[in-house]
Amino acid sequence: MLICLVLVLCFIWGNSLLPPKASWTLSGLVQHTAGQLKPITRADAFLHQREGYTVRKLAHMGEFAVLGALLTALCEPKSRRDRLPVLLLKGLSVALIDEGIQLFTGRTSCLSDVWIDLVGFCIGLTMVFLFAAGSARREKKDSK
């Protein structure tokens, strides 16, 4: 699972190293694929953003959800709650580094992206907590 974590970090930071044109081209490919989903197209218009904006933000959220789930899953189950502040600090650190990298590639760095990343991270973290709680309940029920 540690290898998966390293790969996710390489993916996140690797995408941040892309110059603006390459980044928007990649987003355009994803946008074209997701173009059949009308809510995504409508969201860009509703937010008064250029086409691909919503896909980019959902991608940020998704990759950080995976990161949050992996980091949380790597913690000992009994110490997860105690490590919650440390986990959140790690997620914030990755998000800040991610935005910082973009400053050196000619792309814009945006505080709202850090918040979007943190929301995604918290979604992944919460999914692991809920899965673990459900598993514990099933084990308890099965042992009776």
Where along the chain do its domains lie? 2-143
Residue 39 has pLDDT above 90, yes or no: no
CB 68 within 8 A of CB 124: yes
Q: How many CB atoms lie within 10 A of CB 8?
A: 18
Alpha helices in 19-110 (DSSP H): 20-34, 38-46, 53-74, 84-103
Alpha-carbon gap, residue 14 to 135, rounded angstroms: 35
Within its chain, how far is the Cα of 70 from the centroid? 11
pLDDT in tens, 59-82: 889 999 999 999 999 988 787 788
pTM given for the model:
0.84
Question: Shortest CA distance to 56 belongs to which of 15, 90, 7, 96?
Answer: 15
Angle at 27 between CA 21 and CA 31, to 5 degrees: 135
CB 5 within 8 A of CB 71: yes
> Which range, of 17-26, 28-37, 120-129, averages the lowest pLDDT?
28-37
CB 105 within 8 A of CB 16: yes
Q: Is the dihedral of CA 88, 90, 92, 98 positive or negative?
A: negative
**Which structure tokens are listed for 101?**
């990298």
pLDDT in tens, 85-125: 999 999 999 999 999 999 899 888 889 999 999 999 999 99
